Homo-oligomer: A and B are copies of this chain.
Amino acid sequence: MEAPSYYPAMSDSGPRGPSTRGIPEGDNRERMICAECGFVLYDNPKIVVGSVARWGDRVLLCRRSINPRRGFWTLPAGYLELHETTAEGARREAREEALAEIELEGVLAVYSIPRLSQVQVMYRARLVSPSIAAGPESEAVALFGWDEIPWNELAFPSVRWALNDFHASRGAADFAARGNPPGELGNY
């Protein structure tokens, strides 16, 4: 999801919101505070949920129709919504981005991208049918064999991590969820 423009535009400069740094009373870290009304913004890391979904030996990838990284291939994944479980979110993302129904087969990995304050919970999954189609955030979707994966056209480092971890998990009944590859933090 792209962050929409602020609404409503209340002045020429737009809303300021919590734009002053300060340590609230009783806290021990700097937070963003609204100078106008004193509202304290407790900003938090964000959770991305997604899956590597297989159909036979092939895996589902989506070519992004939106920035960042428009035109590059990614996994069906996106921000978890409020009051949603991670499993529900992963299934919803497959439905939204690839019109695909998936069945989850366990946690593949928990990655952290500290630069973005992002945590990614990725599932191993199985397509319920080979029926897939591009949703609004995809310009194409496809099933790739391991030897067909467009490694040089992947959208994010964590897509590569997840594909490699999924490949390592093939056939395993009990697969221990992976973390970031050693030394990697998701930077380009």
Chain A interface category by residue count: 35 or more
Complex contact A42–B3 (CB within 8 A): yes
- Give the distance in Å from the alpha carbon of A41 to the alpha carbon of B15 in the complex: 12
**Minimal Cβ-Cβ distance residue in B for A4:** B26
Name the residue on B nearest A112 (C-beta): B85
Copies of this polypeptide in the complex: 2
B7 and A25: CB pair below 8 A? Answer: yes
Q: Nearest Cβ in chain B — how far from A40, in angstroms? A: 6
Chain B: which residue is nearest A105 at the CB level? B176
Give the chain B neighbours of A41 by CB distance below 8 A.
Answer: 41
**Contact in complex: B106, A45 (CB < 8 Å):** no
Q: Given that A4-B25, A5-B25, A25-B7 are known contacts, is A84 also in contact with B40, CB under 8 Å in the complex? A: no
